[in-house]
A and B are shown apart, each in its own frame.
Chain A
Amino acid sequence: MTDFLPTLLTLASEPVAAQVGPVGFAALKEVSLSAPLAAWLIPGLPMLGAVLAVLMAIGGVKSKLPAWTTVLCLAGSFAVTLWLYLQMRDAGAAYTTVKLFDWISFDYLPGKAFVANFSLYIDQLTCLWMLFVTGLAACIALYASEYMSHDVGPGYCRFFFAFCLFVFSMACLVMGDNLLLLYLGWEGVGLCSYLLIGYFYAKPSAVAAAKKAFIINRIGDLGLALGIMLTFVHFGTIQFAELLPKVEQYVALATSGNLAAVPASVQWIAVLFTLAAFGKSAQLPLYVWLPDAMEGPTPVSALIHAATMVTAGVYLVARTMPLFQCGAVTVPPDAWVLPGLVVPALDIVVWGGALTALLAATIGMAQFDIKRIMAYSTVSQLGFMFVGVGLASSYAGAFHVFTHAFFKATLFLSCGAVMHGFGGQLDLRKLSGVMWMKGWLVVGLAMLVGCLNLAGFPFTAGFFSKDVILAEAFSNPHQRVVAWILLVTAGLTAYYTFRVFFRVFLGPKSFEPGDEAHGHNDAHGHDDRAHDGAGHGHGAKGEHGAKGEHGAKGEHGVGEKGAHGAHDQAFQPHAPGWAINLVLAVLAIGSLVAAYAYPTKWVKGLVEKSSAAAVDLTGSAAHAPATLLGMDPHEIMYYVSAGVGAVGILVAFFLHYLGRKTAATSRADAIKLGALQRGAQHKWYVDEFYDATVRVPLKVLAHVLHFLDKVLVDGLVNLAGLLPRGLGMSLRPSQGGELHGYALAMACGIAVLALVALFSLV
């Protein structure tokens, strides 16, 4: 740490891009690991953990055992990742593949095979991602062991099962050597996200949120699936090691400014992948699921919906950077709108990211639920990351992912600790001065570290990683608007971050415990099963969801204090235990230390020695002359962004700390922005808009279709069935029962047939 500052200062003056030349896939060499199959332990150990959790659920384990096995497995996984990293670091710019067994592989024509195996592709980017995924997962599992302790039993097992399964899926996503295994992980993390958001399944809002997350993700997945098919049809392979070299010729076309010459089937791959990435990483227009996903237990929000899963989209872009470089939407020259327009896929990524960042930040400013604020900040920060990768700088994106993982996990876990301690209270108007309460110092400090990072306080990890992105944006002459948007967003971010900190952690000590139902009504399930198994003592209380909330409150939230009923007076905050504190401390320190990765160019080295390194689109010539206020953007950004951040913090300080007497009020209340404020508070009515434009019409359509199916399609069938009956009805009078009638009919019949004969003769 001693030489940190000098190093930093010397490096600060150097343009980042000039330091290590991007190498591209061609420069990677294939190496083999010692004990290659050991790499499979990285997904394998979490899988083991998941299986153990299932077994424990079957065995009726009612202790914290599942948590410990999970932590052990994940830690083991982390250790293997470290080992892998060390090996790959020694190998340098290299990759390796480790095949376990065949999955979907078949001949689609004689001698031509579709191959998608359970096989790992490992390069330095993989290592980077897996290091923080497994590391954070292990920490958060430890945190969750305490956080979820109220639910020991089947629910506990279920939680850790999904948790382990998530890490397994994430490992498949990140390490898969082909797009289909990536897809497996992609949907797998979606499933785990679904299961964990819906963990408190007795609560309709949680179930709805889980469903929403899964379905919106499915829309993104659709893009990925279609992209994979298109990739395969065009290139005949979806294995990275074979695919990436084949893309190079198109990348060459694209970088030489001839993007329109790339075949449309190649151009579209990246566009479809963009859809996928925006779905999974909650970007416009598919971001709406992420804030709702906060219905899940907080460790889940921290790990899945902040640190790891939502960065999968960024990973996808980074991993398939060559495809993105030659991706575009090309309007045919003879189209009647915008003929010949070429929109590069990366521009879509950049603009999507920037707009999401701004939008989410504005919403985040107006929310009162601290977890939701963190959620919107995640959406916003993900926007930053996409701008980073969208600027063809995988490094910028990946670095922000890396730092963000630490500080956002810290933030979420801190919020979670608060929530855990205050009976599920998340409203920043009902909490104040938490940091100074007994036993909450660690939480407060961790929160502070997290906030500083998020606000981009100088020399924090978040500061560096955000600056890289800002600088990249400013140094790209085409993306100035984006750069300014991001800068404004950075200021807003600092404001809303510290709004939370100043209101919840500083100021007068005051609190109002939350409705336990909000966070802990997973208890119902647990409850009911308990008395399902152990007799029916509480009979009525536990059976019904609606009533169960009260039952749960009585038994849990403040159970130890024995204060049923009048909770306001009797409630004592439930200070975090050692596990939570330990994890918070570790993560807070981690998010500080992560800053060290910038001056040492650790992340940069990892990314640029992988296939994610982009061939410079703008060319170094275009890069150098870009200036901002007459200085190198990278240099000036330190000052500018630090300044913007400081302004944000100061405004927050002024509005939410100075002179605040109660938890509920602050000076900010005096500011009336009318519709603007209301709009932000109501999330700009995006959910309502989607509801009205997509869900409701779809529902109406479905009802109409159902009606048509019943009335028209089935009606026709029934009509066909009735036809003989109707015909019979009309013929029935011919059987009048009278002898003469019959005779006459017979005679007429003979006559008619004779006429028929006559006509056919003529």
Chain B
Amino acid sequence: MLDKISSLWPEICLFSVTCVVMLVGLSSSLRVRKLCSPLAALGLLTAGFLVVTTEASGTSLLPNMPSYGKLLTCGVGLLLLLLLSGLPDRRYEAMVATGRTRFSALRTVRAEYYAFFLFSLTGLMLCAGATNLIWLFLALELTSLPTYVMVALSSQRERSLEAGVKYFFLGAMGAAVFLFGFALIYGGTGTVDIDQIAYAIRGQAQDGGINTITLAGMLLALLGLCFKIAAVPMHFYTPDVYQGAASPVTAMLAFVPKAAGFFAITLLLAALGWGDLTGHGALPSPIGEVLTVIAVLTMTIGNVLAVLQTSVKRVLAYSSIAHSGYMLVALVAGPGGSGNDSITNGVAAVMLYLLAYGVANVAAFSVLSTLERAAPDGTTDESDDFADIRGLRKRAPGLAWVMVLAALGLMGFPPLLGFFAKLPLFASGLAGGHVLLVVILALNSAIAAFYYLRLVSVTLLESPDGAGRAESFAMTPFANRTLAGYIAATVIVGAPLVPLIDEAYDATRVAQWGGVYNAAGAAPSPRPRPTPGVGEQTVEEPEAEVVPSVR
């Protein structure tokens, strides 16, 4: 078990920092309390460093995913942290600072906030490195539970509470669904170890069909996870929750649970396997079809509903749904058989897309969270409507450009990062033989272009509205949120210029996927294989007990 610990140093580090942050937040000195966010950043940086230096080990199915996923978590986490700072209890802090109220450790939420954030990121990291279902379940819950609180607490508005209630209850239901799915998977294969599950499924497939319980479990698990990635049919909460939560939290919601969901789905699908290794592998029968249907519905519904919105956050929420649909296309296609270290590797495509999507998302939400408008009651409210960003170029040119780049990046416009992330989605879909799916993807990109273009033209090309909007325009005093936007925009533009993407392609490579099948012994099977069905002895390779070559 200790060998596992060695690969968990980043998570452990992050966890420890989280604890420290919680303690620091209890201090009555504002200066000390203000250390929360630097500490969190330090923790993330350290974790990132540890990811690079330690050897990550996840399942042997997707050996590169843990380190990539953890690095991604740290990177985007840092950007999200920049956005989050200053979000919670601003008013309370101000009151304390002006002496209107006395500091009370029970009333501050700053420390909790950062702690929740870091817990969630820890969960995400654990997701990427999960090797069995229990771990995966716990990691997913660790990712989600803090976010429920964050949503509900993110602002004083009623909307945040509404978002919180919707998010929490529906989330609980989703969790129950995938938990039941996990149970069935366990029932169908007799193990919770993902490598072994893969092995068992392989065996079942050769024995005349994958066990129905396994398939039912997979199906339920995937549907439950659809909640995390905001895919049809579990997408309904998305716009309301995204709109209700404060923008920085929305940015986090759009990335962290989604990434966790995709890590989990990728793991499950890897265990299920994309058919044989002839290069045109497809997911086993019902799962492949269902996932295709989900992908088509998700991207289409997301896009057509986004077209109608007047709230920027809702637009981004629906676009978040659509993006999940795009990524599902690549997952349907799978890593491809022979050329799975190339651009047609759908799993790698999803990993890269998560990066591009996360960064562009941060950029978009950084603009929204920087802008404020005066609410009728004299307080400030965050920007949400298109009217709030109309003519932004005249008031804050830098932010306007960030918004434009974010929109174009999400659109996948060349030569921005989004394009190079979308390219492998297309390529993997085509390579998997899902031409129709790719055409639907292309058409959906065009529909999406409509509302992204609207974002572009509203910010860049139009003049600010009269009607009080311009007067109520203000910017939050938190320069770091803007900074997050700038950094994200720089990445959107700059990543293709430096060979970063190329590296990313390499990092996301899932070269050894299918290794389990190539060399039959690749499955690390310290315990005897489960024997759920009959005819379990038919394994073609004789050297079944060879120890896998995990690097």
Contact = CB atoms under 8 A, between A and B. Distances in A.
Q: Do chains A and B directly touch (beta carbons under 8 Å) in the complex?
A: yes
Interface of A: 721, 724-725, 727-729, 731-732, 734-735, 737, 739, 741-743, 745-746, 748-750, 752-754, 756-758, 760-761
B533 interface: no
Interface in B242-280: none
Interface in B450-499: 450
B303 A745 contact: no
B308 A725 contact: yes
B170 A727 contact: no
A727 B286 contact: no
Contact of A753 (B165, B293, B306, B307): B293
Given A728-B307, A752-B233, 7 more contacts: A724-B447, A728-B306, A731-B305, A739-B169, A746-B173, A746-B174, A753-B223
Contact of A750 (B165, B170, B233, B240): B233
A371 B457 CA distance: 64
A748 B233 contact: yes
Contact of B177 (A748, A750, A761): A750
18 contacts: A721-B450, A724-B307, A724-B447, A724-B450, A727-B300, A731-B301, A732-B308, A734-B236, A735-B305, A742-B170, A746-B173, A746-B227, A749-B223, A750-B220, A753-B293, A754-B223, A756-B286, A760-B285
A410 B312 CA distance: 82
A737 B286 CA distance: 32
A756 B289 contact: yes
Contact of A742 (B166, B220, B223, B306): B166
B286 A742 contact: no
B243 to A, nearest CB: 10
Contacts of A741: 236
Contacts of A743: 169-170, 173
A734 B234 CA distance: 12
A745 B236 contact: yes
Given A746-B233, A746-B234, A757-B219, A739 B305 contact: no
A727 B308 CA distance: 10
Contacts of A750: 177, 220, 223, 233-234
Contacts of A760: 285-286, 289-290
Nearest to A737: B240
A724, A731, A760: residue with the most chain B Cβ atoms closer than 10 Å: A724
B283 to A, nearest CB: 11
Given A750-B177, A753-B294, A761 B286 contact: yes
Contacts of B304: 724-725, 727-728, 731
A742 B237 contact: yes
Contacts of A739: 165-166, 169-170
Contacts of A748: 233
Nearest to B222: A753
A758 B215 CA distance: 10
B220 to A, nearest CB: 8
B182 to A, nearest CB: 15
Interface in B187-242: 215, 219-220, 223, 227, 232-234, 236-237, 239-240
A746 B173 CA distance: 9
B418 to A, nearest CB: 20
A756 B291 CA distance: 10
Interface residues of B, number: 36
B300 to A, nearest CB: 7
A728 B166 contact: no
Interface of B: 165-166, 169-170, 173-174, 177, 215, 219-220, 223, 227, 232-234, 236-237, 239-240, 285-287, 289-290, 293-294, 300-301, 303-308, 447, 450
B305 A728 contact: yes
A758 B307 contact: no
A758 B220 CA distance: 13
A761 B290 CA distance: 11
Nearest to B173: A743
B169, B236, B289: residue with the most chain A Cβ atoms closer than 10 Å: B236
A739 B232 CA distance: 16
Nearest to A748: B233
B223 A735 contact: no
A761 B173 contact: no
Contacts of B301: 731
Given A745-B236, A746-B233, A729 B173 contact: no
A249 B256 CA distance: 87
A735 B174 CA distance: 18
Given A727-B304, A728-B307, A729-B308, A757 B289 contact: yes
Contacts of B239: 735
Contacts of B166: 739, 742
A743 B232 CA distance: 13
Given A727-B304, A735-B305, A761 B236 contact: no
Nearest to B286: A757
A376 B173 CA distance: 95
A750 B170 CA distance: 13
Closest 8 CB pairs of A and B: A749-B233, A757-B286, A728-B304, A742-B236, A760-B289, A727-B304, A724-B304, A728-B308
Nearest to B306: A728
Nearest to B448: A724
A724 B300 CA distance: 8
A93 to B, nearest CB: 70
Nearest to A760: B289
A480 to B, nearest CB: 73
Contacts of B165: 739
A749 B234 contact: yes
Contacts of B236: 734-735, 741-742, 745-746
Contacts of B174: 746
Contacts of A746: 170, 173-174, 227, 233-234, 236
A603 to B, nearest CB: 72
Contacts of A732: 305, 308
Given A724-B447, A727-B300, A761 B308 contact: no
A732 B169 CA distance: 22
A750 B178 CA distance: 11
A754 B169 CA distance: 22
Contacts of B308: 725, 728-729, 732
Contacts of B223: 749-750, 753-754
A52 to B, nearest CB: 52
A719 to B, nearest CB: 14
A753 B227 CA distance: 14
A727 B450 CA distance: 15
A760 B282 CA distance: 14
Contact of B307 (A725, A749, A752, A754): A725
A761 B234 contact: no
Nearest to B305: A728
Contacts of A745: 233, 236
A743 B223 CA distance: 13
Contacts of B287: 757
B451 to A, nearest CB: 10
A214 B195 CA distance: 83
Contacts of B303: 724
A724 B177 CA distance: 31
B177 A756 contact: no
A734, A752, A753: residue with the most chain B Cβ atoms closer than 10 Å: A753
A731 to B, nearest CB: 6
A724 B445 CA distance: 12
A749 B220 CA distance: 12
B316 to A, nearest CB: 15
A721 B453 CA distance: 14
B169 to A, nearest CB: 6
A750 B181 CA distance: 12
A728, A732, A752, A756: residue with the most chain B Cβ atoms closer than 10 Å: A728
A734 B223 CA distance: 18
Contact of A757 (B173, B177, B240, B290): B290
A757 B306 CA distance: 28
Contacts of A735: 236, 239-240, 305
Contacts of B215: 757, 761
